[in-house]
């Protein structure tokens, strides 16, 4: 009978119920602000860390370590390209700590008065070419990318996209945009090579390491490579500044630095 | 609801009004954020024109493919007792509830160069769906066609079959009955289904970016362009969003009630 009147009525009722539940949920969420106080010692503190996608693996591990040193502290992460995360923070996302893969995204937030104190550089990274396992199309250099097929790069404003543009520019390689698929962050760019049909991509060394056998890595010589500097800072309106500060200090400390090194990051200096 | 002139219960109207507010506030928000002095120049850049053109090609193609392939399917689902019909219907409607990105992953598994079908298409015909406009059309059709099939199947079930029986008793063969009697009877639903499928295809994002990639001029449709522009040029992103909003709204409003709600 298809969409009869009775079923339409049921559908309408369902939609209305959904809307009212949603309204109720929003209402209660607004009524009960997140518990961030320091009254009960350090219990029930939730730290929200927004970071560059390339940091995902390392920061999650670091988060585990931080939690272990501070019972009752919960650390949640949100990852996207640094430029996307910066935009979210500008839109008022409740973030306590921001870790950026480039200085531009961080500086923009500093200029907007959304960062407390000075950002600290805590890691560096380099670019690498990734291809299918076994490098079937014989890509040996940035120059080989120009006639290889569809290449995966990050969006022009994501740090990995900006760095890749600098490296390609330095090598004098011009890629036809109709042969470039742009990932919204470095994970998506890597995925276009791992799962999709992109012939090659430019990502960070750490992403290639993390992908293990799913890709083959082709090194970019140091004179053409670009060094990405990662900085971390407290958001201006961090909920629990003390815990946020402690997290930033922990990321710069020996334990976290060892984790970063294990993921392939270079030390900050 | 014209059975009686009873006035609607107040709480229902209040909640319904809130729901309308819920749907209209985001629209108001984006209108209020738009910088009207730059909208036109933002919409006439090469990238914007490319994205608009590509979106029109993909969505119209997806709607057309839905009509061509969806109509016979809807007829089979509505009129025949094929074994496993619930399963078939479930399969066909799955993209409506599946997160589009998962649809994209599934399409990759089926049609990427590394899949048997994808490599065969490439070797035998030189067709590569990934990173091509054809791939973007496939992705859009995958997510949009269920809307068409659902609409038309419902209409077919509602058709009074006596008209068809009379036509058959007067000597019309089965194809003629379908063409001359059934199709005209369900024409409004065919149109409504095609428009719904088109609107869904126009907004398609997840399956497209996952399966067809994000290549300027080939697969970067309006929603992909909006997503990419959001980080570099917010006003350009808003201008492109306005195009999607206005076009979709105009079409959906012009879909008159009687097309969607059968009497």
Closest CA to A105 of A53, A154, A52, A152: A52
Amino acid A43: pLDDT: 59
Tell me how far apart the alpha carbons of residues B251 and A95 are, in angstroms, rounded to a whole number. 40
Q: Which residues of A touch B (CB under 8 A)?
A: 1-3, 5, 8, 15-16, 19-20, 22-23, 81, 83-84, 87, 150, 152, 155-158, 177-184, 188, 192, 195-198
Amino acid A237: pLDDT: 86
Q: Each residue of B20-52: pLDDT tens digit? A: 999 999 999 999 999 999 999 999 999 899 999
Using CA atoms, how far residue A126 sits from A83, A100, A218, A265, B175, in Å, is 18, 14, 12, 8, 65
| Residue whose entry in the numeric block shows the structure tokens 């949640």 | A76
Question: Mean pLDDT over residues B119-137, rounded?
Answer: 94
Is residue B1 pLDDT above 50, yes or no?
Answer: no
* B131, B148, B224, B238: best to mutate for the A interface, most A CBs within 10 A: B131
Neighbouring residues of A212: CB distance < 8 A, sequence distance ≥ 6: none
Minimal C-alpha gap between A111 and chain B (Å): 17
Amino acid B3: pLDDT: 55
Chain A, nearest residue to B101 by Cα: A188
Amino acid A27: pLDDT: 42
Which of B1, B118, B154 comes nearest A3 by C-beta? B154
Question: Mean pLDDT over residues B129-135, rounded?
Answer: 94
Q: Which residues of B touch A2 (CB under 8 A)?
A: 153-155, 157-158, 262
Tell whether B10 lies on the interface with A, counting CB pairs under 8 A.
no
Amino acid A28: pLDDT: 42
Residues of chain A with pLDDT under 70: 1-43
Amino acid A17: pLDDT: 53
Structural contact between residues A2 and B158, judged by C-beta atoms closer than 8 angstroms: yes
Amino acid A30: pLDDT: 39
Minimal C-alpha gap between B43 and chain A (Å): 19
Determine whether the interchain pair A8/B261 forms a contact, defined as Cβ–Cβ distance below 8 Å.
Answer: yes
Task: Return the percentage of chain B with pLDDT > 90, whole number.
Answer: 76
Pairing of strands A216-219, A151-154: unpaired
* B157, B213, B258: best to mutate for the A interface, most A CBs within 10 A: B213
Amino acid B130: pLDDT: 92
Q: Each residue of B63-101: pLDDT tens digit? A: 999 999 999 999 999 998 889 999 999 999 999 999 999
Determine whether the interchain pair B231/A177 forms a contact, defined as Cβ–Cβ distance below 8 Å.
Answer: no
Amino acid B259: pLDDT: 55
Q: Each residue of B183-198: pLDDT tens digit? A: 999 999 999 999 999 9
Tell whether B110 lies on the interface with A, counting CB pairs under 8 A.
no
Minimal C-alpha gap between A177 and chain B (Å): 6
Report the mean per-residue pLDDT for chain B.
90
Amino acid A6: pLDDT: 52
Chain A, nearest residue to B106 by Cα: A195
Hey, which residues does A151 pair with through a beta bridge?
A: A180, A200
The whole-model pTM stands at 0.80
What number of CA atoms fall less than 13 Å from residue B90's CA on the CB side? 4
Tell me how far apart the alpha carbons of residues A107 and A157 are, in angstroms, rounded to a whole number. 14
Task: Report which of residues A43 and B246 the model is more confident about.
Answer: B246
Amino acid A5: pLDDT: 52
| Residue whose entry in the numeric block shows the structure tokens 């294990």 | A262
Minimal C-alpha gap between B24 and chain A (Å): 14
């Amino acid at each position: 009978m298809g969409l009869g009147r009775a079923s339409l009525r049921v559908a309408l009722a369902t939609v209305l119920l959904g809307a009212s539940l949603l309204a109720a949920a929003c209402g209660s969420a607004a009524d009960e602000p997140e518990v961030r106080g320091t009254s009960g010692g350090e219990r029930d503190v939730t730290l929200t860390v927004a970071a560059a996608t390339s940091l995902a693996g390392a920061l999650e591990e670091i988060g585990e370590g931080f939690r272990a040193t501070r019972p009752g502290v919960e650390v949640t992460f949100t990852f996207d390209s640094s430029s996307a995360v910066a935009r979210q923070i500008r839109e008022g996302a409740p973030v306590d700590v921001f870790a950026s893969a480039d200085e531009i995204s961080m500086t923009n937030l500093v200029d907007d008065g959304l960062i407390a104190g000075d950002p600290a550089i805590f890691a560096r990274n380099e670019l690498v070419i990734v291809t299918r396992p076994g490098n079937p199309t014989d890509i040996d250099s940035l120059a080989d990318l120009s006639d290889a097929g569809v290449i995966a790069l990050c969006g022009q404003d994501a740090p990995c996209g900006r760095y890749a543009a600098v490296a390609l520019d330095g090598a004098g390689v011009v890629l036809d945009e109709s042969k470039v698929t742009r990932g919204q962050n470095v994970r998506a760019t890597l995925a276009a090579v791992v799962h999709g049909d992109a012939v090659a991509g430019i990502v960070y060394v750490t992403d290639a390491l993390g992908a293990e056998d799913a890709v083959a890595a082709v090194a970019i010589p140091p004179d053409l490579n670009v060094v990405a500097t990662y900085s971390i800072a407290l958001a201006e309106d961090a909920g629990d500044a003390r815990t946020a500060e402690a997290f930033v200090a922990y990321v710069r400390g020996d334990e976290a630095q060892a984790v970063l090194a294990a993921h392939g990051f270079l030390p900050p200096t | 609801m014209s059975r009686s002139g009873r006035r609607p219960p107040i709480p229902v109207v209040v909640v319904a009004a809130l729901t309308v507010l819920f749907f209209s506030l985001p629209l108001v928000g984006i209108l209020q954020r738009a910088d009207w002095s730059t909208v036109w120049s933002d919409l006439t850049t090469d990238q914007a024109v490319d994205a608009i053109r590509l979106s029109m090609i993909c969505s119209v193609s997806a709607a057309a493919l839905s009509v061509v392939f969806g109509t016979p399917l809807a007829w089979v689902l509505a009129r025949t007792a094929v074994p496993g019909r619930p399963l078939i219907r479930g399969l066909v409607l799955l993209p409506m509830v599946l997160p589009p990105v998962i649809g994209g992953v599934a399409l990759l598994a089926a049609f990427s160069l590394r899949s048997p079908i994808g490599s065969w298409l490439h070797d035998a015909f030189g067709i590569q769906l990934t990173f091509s406009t054809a791939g973007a059309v496939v992705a859009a059709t995958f997510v949009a066609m269920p809307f068409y099939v659902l609409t038309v199947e419902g209409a077919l079930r509602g058709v009074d079959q006596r008209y068809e029986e009379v036509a058959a008793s007067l000597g019309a063969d089965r194809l003629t009955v379908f063409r001359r009697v059934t199709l005209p009877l369900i024409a409004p639903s065919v149109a409504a289904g095609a428009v719904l499928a088109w609107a869904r295809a126009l907004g398609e994002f997840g399956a497209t970016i996952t399966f067809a990639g994000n290549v300027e001029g080939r697969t970067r449709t309006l929603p992909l362009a909006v997503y990419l522009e959001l980080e570099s040029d917010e006003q350009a992103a808003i201008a492109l969003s306005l195009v999607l909003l206005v076009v979709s709204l105009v079409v959906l409003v012009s879909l008159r009630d009687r097309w969607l709600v059968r009497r």
